């Protein structure tokens, strides 16, 4: 991970951009990191500062970037350690549970809360209901091997699934939808973007506020094209990687442009 476009540094003909110290330090630390096995510890911030002859602030800036990239783990009061690498999540309508299992991890999921509220106009449009109609909001914490990985917030139209709030638990939502309402999922549209962790998310995920996250929204429809749920999931950016397998569109399209 982290290909560095070797060779051609940066051809900005005129002024040398004067590489910041914290970047140079980051590279030296990355080098150091290559000989530390995952989980191994690094010297403290103060030690690094005097070791490299820079201020602690500069050290922290370098460490912060490495942490954001998932190459470091920092534990308050304990130390700084080499990172573990990323999990991947296949980008398709498969479930979190299936995915984790196929990676040999033990997935668990706990329901944080389930509450009923009124849909605002935007949400109503997404769920195909009227503004003000009841919506069930579910928040789940997803874990892999006991470690918090993602927070998932689903919203479903209660009118279509009366009593749904009584059926949901830590188990499978899609299972409940199928067994009690006969609903099967058809297609979905997902978007993926970057985000930073809010303090609440950070607290649940064992993260720091402001950490790099992947924000995934999913708009799911049943096999008849009716909207079923709208989900926003926040994954730890230092832990996750999404995978999609794609098939080609009509070949005629391809040859035109790229």
- Interface contacts to DNA, rule CB under 7 A: 15, 17-18, 20-22, 42-47, 53-58, 60-61, 63, 74-80, 208-209
With CB under 5 to 8 Å by kind, the binding choice for 56 among a copy of itself, DNA, none is: DNA
- The contacts of residue 199 (CB under 8 Å, 6+ apart) are 209
**What is the rounded distance in angstroms from the CA atom of residue 23 to the CA atom of residue 21?**
5
Strand partners, 258: none
With CB under 5 to 8 Å by kind, the binding choice for 93 among DNA, a copy of itself, none is: a copy of itself
Judged by CB under 8 A, how many residues of this single chain contact a copy of itself? 81
The contact pattern for a copy of itself, residues 44-83, with x = CB under 8 A and - = no contact, is ---------------------x--xx--------------
Question: Half-sphere exposure of residue 13, counting CA atoms within 13 Å on the CB side?
Answer: 0
**What is the rounded distance in angstroms from the CA atom of residue 183 to the CA atom of residue 108?**
24
Contact status: 35 vs a copy of itself (CB under 8 A): no
Distances (CA, A) of 39 to 73, 81, 83, 85, 96: 8, 5, 6, 11, 26
With CB under 5 to 8 Å by kind, the binding choice for 77 among DNA, a copy of itself, none is: DNA
Q: Which of residues 77-116 bind a copy of itself (CB under 8 A)?
A: 86, 88, 91-98, 113
């Amino acid at each position: 991970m982290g290909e560095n476009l070797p060779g051609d540094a940066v051809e900005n003909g005129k002024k040398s951009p004067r590489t910041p110290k914290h970047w140079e330090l980051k590279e030296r630390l990355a080098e150091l990191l290559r000989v530390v096995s995952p989980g191994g510890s690094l010297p403290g911030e103060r030690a690094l500062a005097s070791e490299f002859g820079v201020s602690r602030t500069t050290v922290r800036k370098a460490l912060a970037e490495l942490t954001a990239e998932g190459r470091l783990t920092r534990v308050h009061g304990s130390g700084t350690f080499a990172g573990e690498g990323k999990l991947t999540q296949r980008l398709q309508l498969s479930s979190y549970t299936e995915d984790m299992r196929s990676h040999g991890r033990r997935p668990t999921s706990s329901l944080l809360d389930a509450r009923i509220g009124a849909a605002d106009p935007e949400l109503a449009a997404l769920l195909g209901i009227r503004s003000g109609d009841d919506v069930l909001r579910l928040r789940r914490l997803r874990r892999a091997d006991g470690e918090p990985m993602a927070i998932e917030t689903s919203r479903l139209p209660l009118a279509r699934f009366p009593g749904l709030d009584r059926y949901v638990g830590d188990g499978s939502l899609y299972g409940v939808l199928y067994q009690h309402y006969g609903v099967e999922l058809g297609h979905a549209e997902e978007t993926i973007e970057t985000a930073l962790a809010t303090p609440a998310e950070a607290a649940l995920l064992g993260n720091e506020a402001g950490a790099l996250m992947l924000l995934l929204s999913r708009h799911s429809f049943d096999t008849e094209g009716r909207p079923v749920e709208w989900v926003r999931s926040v994954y730890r950016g230092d832990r996750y990687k999404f995978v999609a397998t794609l098939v080609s569109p009509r070949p005629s399209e391809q040859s035109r442009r790229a």
